Amino acid sequence: MALSTQPYKGARDFYPEDKRLQKYMFRIMRESVEKFGYEEYDAPILESLDLYLAKTGEEIVNEQTYTFEDRGGRKVAIRPEMTPTVSRMVAARRQELAYPLRWYSIPNLWRYERPQHGRLREHWQLNVDIFGSEDVQAELEIIRVADSILKTFGATHDMYTIKLNSRKLMDFIMNEYLGLNQVQSYTLSKLIDRMHKMPAEAFDAEVEALFSPSQREAGAHNKLHGLLKTKHLDALPERLRELPSVVALQKLLTQLKAMHIPNVIFDITVMRGFDYYTDIVFEVNDTHPENNRSMFGGGRYDGLVGLFGVEPVPTVGFGMGDVTLQNFLEGHDLMPKLRSETDVFAIIVGDVAEKAEKVIDDLREMGLHIAVDFTGRKIDKQIKTASKKDVHYALFIGERELKDEQYVLRNLQTGVEERHSASRIVSIVKDYRED
């Protein structure tokens, strides 16, 4: 039986053209967040399993994490997300860091689950966090950063919606306003989280089953129903509007709109999967009709750093996955045509290899990326090879060129050929590379 050439289930090989796309996406991400002063960090892909047992949703640890025992008997996990890791790093140097911290990373993460559209077992996820600010200005900045990234990819505001909500508001609604106990609240929040994926009747039935007789008596169901239909903060009952979280949400919405981000809305059904969110959460949705799903999101999690036994550090952050981002870019026709990192494919004509290599080395010295075809094949084959590699220019070097030191530079896109000196070639190619 032959060895399989397939990559591991749910993981991808990155051939040069795939890697080109990944590098492009990471470059835009880095440039966007660094504009706001975020600094890159990194960490090992392996973590102690304990790190994930304390928090996170239970299912992620039990069923979706790759775990194993190392040779020393330690329980090890391949990181399924970056937030616990970065919280651990911050906690380790809690006292000496200069707050507010603006950190980002693009780690690869692993989750053991069934691969399907937009979800693989290994993915890369831009993580952007701001540590050390309780002020809603932190949320404002984080959302602006997320918006700015999408804009840099060429997206316009009609392509996505930013939905905001608050966990504190939801907790208040469930505990105080509806009078639910802890178990009921937890179940209901998970139910609201997937409310849009189930028929209204099924949702109603599950909600009804959740309430106790006395709660039903008190009209809990109707109250909840009314709330879930709320599209604006002003439409909330007075008691809820006075909550600090709601005031903060209102401020956020107003400021974002003032900053020319009109596609933000309040959405009371946004919950986010992780249990560690403590207040404001947000979610970015693709508006493309065929891919109308949550692309990524984030929120405030003030409790995580404190789990390591140090004073808590208030934190706001989000994670943006490469697979969902790619789907978004493809859906909105935002994928760039990427060329090779190689600027020039040199074609040596005749028996002049030694002299030609000298010229090529000079060009490399002046900063060009040049691959040389030393096969001596027919010229048409060599041009075809260059073209297939998505190299932009072919450079012919033969007797004639070497004699007068004028080389034939061919633009493989247009087919236009010109004779130039080496230094002129360098500036032409560099000019092209710049844009």
Q: Which residues bind RNA (CB under 7 A)?
A: 1, 6, 9-10, 57, 59-60, 64, 81, 111, 113-121, 123, 125, 190, 193-194, 197-198, 272-274, 294-297, 319, 321, 323-324, 349-350, 377-381, 383-384, 387-388, 396, 398-401, 408, 410-415, 417
CA distance to 148, 248, 364, per residue, from 260 (Å): 11, 19, 45
Cα-to-chain-centroid distance, residue 74: 31
Cα-to-chain-centroid distance, residue 419: 45
Nearest distance in Å: CB 368, RNA: 18
Nearest distance in Å: CB 242, RNA: 30
- Taking each continuous run of H as one helix and of E as one strand, the counts in the chain are 17, 17
Strands 264-266 and 122-131: unpaired
Buried b (16+ CB within 10 A) or exposed e, 399-430: eebbeeebbbbbebeeeeeeebebeebbebbe
Q: Please answer whether residues 246 and 230 qualify as being in contact, where contact means their C-beta atoms are separated by less than 8 angstroms.
A: no
Nearest distance in Å: CB 340, RNA: 12
Nearest distance in Å: CB 157, RNA: 19
DSSP conformation letters of 171-191: HHIIIIIS---HHHHHHHHHH
Residue 146, φ and ψ in degrees, nearest 5:
-60, -45
Nearest distance in Å: CB 176, RNA: 24
Nearest distance in Å: CB 83, RNA: 9
Nearer to RNA (CB atom), residue 46 or residue 97: 46
3-state secondary structure (DSSP) of residue 418: strand
Nearer to RNA (CB atom), residue 125 or residue 133: 125
Nearer to RNA (CB atom), residue 51 or residue 233: 51
Nearest distance in Å: CB 396, RNA: 4
Nearest distance in Å: CB 239, RNA: 28
Nearer to RNA (CB atom), residue 100 or residue 107: 107
Q: Please answer whether residues 324 and 375 qualify as being in contact, where contact means their C-beta atoms are separated by less than 8 angstroms.
A: no
Stated as kind and residue range, the H or E segment containing 89 is helix 83-92
Nearer to RNA (CB atom), residue 310 or residue 323: 323
**In 3D, which of 177, 175, 165 has the Cα closest to residue 240?**
177
Nearer to RNA (CB atom), residue 22 or residue 64: 64
Nearer to RNA (CB atom), residue 47 or residue 236: 47
**In 3D, which of 34, 26, 70 has the Cα closest to residue 49?**
70
Stated as kind and residue range, the H or E segment containing 221 is helix 220-228
Nearer to RNA (CB atom), residue 240 or residue 295: 295
